[in-house]
């Protein structure tokens, strides 16, 4: 295996280096590589946005250390079985033999291999074995998505025991933040000045810089609201509009109704997403789409919807399917339009032709959302753009608006920040045969679920107004060209928005609704504000009283019971701003 071979590895292969970068390392990779060898560290943490090319960077370091004689073996630790094979395939392209089929029962691998790829779970099951292997030869350990080493105490303890004697340890992650206080092994924490400890990366490369460099694609989020109606266990029929202020229970049940394969909401969104995919394929002929489903039953039903819409079948990948890795690999090199997956197509799974997604799951932790969106940002050539269709619910709108926000892992925090609930993420990544519980786990029947185009989110801004599926207003955004630079995306979105607003003005304003009496107006405004406060509570975990107090500090005025209509409107505007701005 030669350093020369590794130096000619495409930054994210096969044949999808960002414009102007192949055959050498991307600028960030070279910068991080140079920093590593200036320091010659035993431990090094690299945080780089999904799609930036962490695999290439790590293999380049491994090949250099091998050529210098610093190490004699490489161990790659990954979250999933599929990623073991993906790392082995990548390593083989630079002449580095990695065994992805290594089992704990073997004890040792063939001398034909320079190293092995194993999972965090494997390490936790037999840390003494892996410690002995690490002690036997000077070893570089590459931790892929190192934050998983804190997913369970046994995982973290096992990793620490097994790889404490390693000659070098290179930790990689695209999403280092966690909500718990489980320290991540071999990661440095520094005091934050407020009694907490914050993880410190040695090199960081976020989505914002990667987007500016053309290393990742811009992502637009197309949000869909709609009218939902369902019957509760008690036999009550309830109706609500997704995308309007709702209580926590109403929101969870409306969201559940939207994702129900029996309703029209998901059918209409899949149809819109397929129209978007057709438009993207005009410029990117092999572009593919991915629906991330909550459970097996829904995944199969969504695939039937795709066949009805397109006349073509979809590739279905389920979490307990032994052939899942093979299906993903075959889909990644095919021309097929759609893949439907239950959760397992998340972090690290490499299908660079994915350009359109449907977020049809109730999982809403920042970790899972970032990992899911990361499947669509991997650029192959400059100008490619990704489109992700999402339900119009506050937590997802907030996460979409904060795409460029960078977080660290914080220890000693009194309560979870921003809903970073990793117990939910852990549950989300497990095998799921049954539908998600969205609020009411008791019998629930969707009666109606229709979709309405709500808006587009991009770079912290919102564009478009409510429109019916198939309308010219929706088509303005569904039909955006599939090849656009980030500044062109923003410019075109602003222009489409301005054109729609001008068209509405030309048509004339609708007849005004009858004026409300002052007490009726105040009651409506208080109801709207309380609904938004409830949504913000659901997203942040802050008590309602704390949120109201913060609104009063920001906007002034008395308590809500004494506030005027204008003061309540100001608070409504402020909390909406909180929900959409990048913090």
Q: Residue 22: is its pLDDT beyond 60?
A: no
Token pair for 413:
């925090």
How does residue 410 score in pLDDT terms, banded at 50, 70 and 90?
very low
The whole-number pLDDT of residue 231 equals 86
Alpha helices (runs of H) in 541-564, residue ranges in sequence order: 544-555
- Whether 455 shows a pLDDT value over 70: the answer reads yes
Q: Give the range with max mean pLDDT: 106-110, 139-143, 210-214, 327-331.
A: 139-143
Identity of the highest mean pLDDT range in 162-171, 186-195, 513-522, 554-563: 162-171
Check pLDDT > 50 for residue 12: no
- The answer to whether the CB of 170 falls within 8 A of the CB of 58 is yes
Confidence class of residue 423 from pLDDT cuts 50, 70 and 90? very low
| pLDDT on residue 288 | 94
CA 394 to centroid of chain Cα atoms: 16
Q: Assess whether pLDDT exceeds 90 at residue 482.
A: no
Residue 368 structure tokens: 């899972």
- Inform me whether the pLDDT recorded for 272 exceeds 80: yes
pLDDT at 36: 96
Checking if the pLDDT of 301 tops 90, the result is yes
Q: pLDDT at position 150, please?
A: 66
Q: Which residue has the higher pLDDT, 183 or 478?
A: 478
Asked whether the predicted pLDDT for residue 377 surpasses 90, the reply is no
What distance in Å separates the CA atoms of residue 148 and residue 368, rounded to the nearest whole number? 12
Which residue intervals of 147-295 are DSSP H helices? 153-163, 207-213, 248-259, 264-283
Query: Looking at residues 283-311, what average pLDDT do you find?
Result: 93
| Position 276 pLDDT exceeds 70 | yes
Residue 13 tokens, joined = 């292969």
Q: Give the pair of three-digit tokens for residue 474.
A: 């929706």
What confidence score (pLDDT) does residue 516 get?
66
| Per-residue confidence (pLDDT) for residue 19, from 0 to 100 | 31
Phi, psi for 199 (deg, rounded to 5): -65, 145
Q: Residue range 511-515: average pLDDT?
A: 55
Instruction: Determine whether 461 is exposed, middle or buried from the number of CB atoms within 10 Å of its CB (0-12, 13-18, 19+).
Output: middle
Residue holding tokens 């054109």?
499
Residue 9 has pLDDT above 80, yes or no: no
For residues 102 and 375, give the distance between their C-alpha atoms in angstroms, rounded to a whole number.
27
Higher pLDDT, 95 or 24: 95
pLDDT at position 13: 38
- Segment 465-477 shows an average pLDDT of 86
So what's the pLDDT on residue 356? 96
What is the Cα–Cα distance from 319 to 564, expressed in whole angstroms? 54
Residue 10 pLDDT greater than 80, yes or no: no
Of 134-148, 281-295, 511-525, the least confident: 511-525
Which pLDDT belongs to residue 343?
A: 66
Tell me how far the alpha carbon of residue 542 is from its chain's centroid: 24
468 close to 474: Cβ distance less than 8 angstroms? yes
Which distant-in-sequence residues (6+ apart) come within 8 Å of 22 by Cβ? 10, 11
* Sequence-separated (6 or more) residues with CB below 8 Å from residue 387: 219, 220, 221, 222, 273, 276, 280, 355, 356, 357, 376, 480
Q: Note the pTM of the prediction, 2 decimals.
A: 0.70
Largest separation between any pair of C-alpha atoms in the chain: 84
CA gap 189, 412 in Å, rounded:
11
Please provide the average confidence, as pLDDT, over all residues in the chain.
80
Alpha helices in 192-263 (DSSP H): 207-213, 248-259
Task: Quote the percentage of the chain above a pLDDT of 90.
Answer: 34
CB atoms within 10 A of CB 415: 8
Taking 60 as the threshold, does the pLDDT of residue 431 lie above it? Answer: no
Q: What are the distances in angstroms from CA 24 to CA 28, 38, 79?
A: 11, 20, 28
- What is the β-pairing status of strands 445-449 and 219-231? antiparallel
Q: Retrieve residue 523's tokens.
A: 């009651």
CB 71 within 8 A of CB 61: no
Quick one: average pLDDT of 549-578?
85
């Amino acid at each position: 295996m030669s350093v020369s071979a590794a130096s000619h590895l495409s930054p994210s292969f096969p044949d999808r280096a960002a414009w102007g970068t192949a055959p050498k390392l991307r600028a960030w990779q070279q910068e991080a590589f140079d920093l590593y060898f200036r320091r010659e560290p035993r431990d090094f943490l690299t945080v780089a946005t999904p799609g930036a090319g962490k695999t290439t960077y790590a293999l380049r370091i491994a090949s250099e250390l091998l050529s210098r004689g610093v190490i004699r073996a490489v161990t790659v630790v990954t979250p999933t079985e599929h990623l073991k094979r993906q790392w082995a395939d990548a390593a083989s392209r630079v002449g580095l033999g990695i065994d992805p089929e290594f089992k704990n029962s073997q004890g040792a691998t063939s001398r034909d291999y320079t190293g092995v790829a194993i999972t965090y779970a494997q390490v936790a099951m037999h840390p003494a074995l892996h410690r002995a292997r690490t002690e036997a030869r000077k070893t570089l350990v590459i931790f892929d998505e190192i934050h998983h080493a804190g997913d369970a105490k046994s995982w973290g303890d096992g990793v620490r025991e097994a790889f404490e004697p390693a000659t070098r340890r290179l930790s990689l992650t695209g999403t280092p933040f966690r909500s718990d206080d489980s320290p991540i092994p071999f990661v440095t924490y520094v005091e934050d000045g407020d009694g907490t400890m914050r993880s410190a990366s040695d090199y960081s490369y976020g989505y914002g810089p990667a987007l500016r460099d053309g290393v990742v694609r811009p992502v637009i989020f197309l949000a869909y609201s709609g009218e939902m109606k369902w019957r509760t266990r008690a036999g009550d029929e309830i109706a609500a509009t997704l995308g309007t202020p709702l209580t926590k229970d109403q929101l969870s049940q409306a969201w559940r109704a939207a994702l129900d394969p029996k309703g029209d909401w998901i059918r209409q969104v899949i149809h819109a997403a397929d129209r978007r995919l057709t438009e993207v394929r005009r410029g990117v002929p092999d572009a593919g789409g991915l629906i991330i489903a909550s459970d097996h039953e829904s995944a199969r039903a969504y695939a039937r919807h795709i066949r009805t819409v397109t006349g073509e079948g979809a590739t279905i990948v389920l979490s307990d399917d032994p052939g899942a890795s093979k299906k993903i690999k075959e889909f990644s090199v095919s021309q097929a339009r759609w893949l439907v997956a239950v959760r397992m197509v998340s972090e690290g799974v490499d299908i660079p032709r994915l350009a359109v997604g449907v977020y049809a799951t109730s999982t809403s932790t920042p970790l899972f959302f970032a990992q899911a969106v990361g499947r669509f940002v991997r650029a192959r050539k400059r100008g490619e753009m990704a489109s992700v269709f999402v339900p119009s619910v506050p937590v997802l709108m907030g996460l979409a608006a904060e795409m460029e926000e960078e977080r660290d892992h914080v220890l000693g925090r009194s309560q979870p920040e921003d809903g970073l609930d990793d117990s939910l993420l852990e549950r989300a990544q497990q095998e799921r045969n049954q539908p998600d519980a969205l609020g009411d786990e008791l019998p629930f029947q969707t009666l109606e679920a229709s979709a309405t185009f709500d808006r587009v989110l991009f770079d912290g801004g919102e564009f478009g107004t409510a429109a019916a599926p198939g309308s010219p207003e929706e088509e303005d955004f569904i039909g955006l060209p599939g090849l656009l630079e980030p500044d062109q995306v923003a410019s075109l979105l602003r222009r489409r928005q301005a054109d729609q607003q001008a068209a509405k003005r030309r048509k004339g304003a609708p007849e005004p609704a009858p004026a409300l009496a002052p007490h009726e107006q105040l009651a409506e405004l208080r109801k709207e504000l309380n609904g938004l406060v409830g949504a913000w509570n659901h997203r942040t975990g802050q008590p309602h009283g704390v949120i109201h107090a913060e609104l009063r500090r920001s906007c002034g005025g008395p308590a809500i019971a004494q506030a005027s209509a204008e003061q309540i409107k100001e608070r409504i505007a402020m909390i909406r701003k909180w929900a959409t701005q990048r913090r």
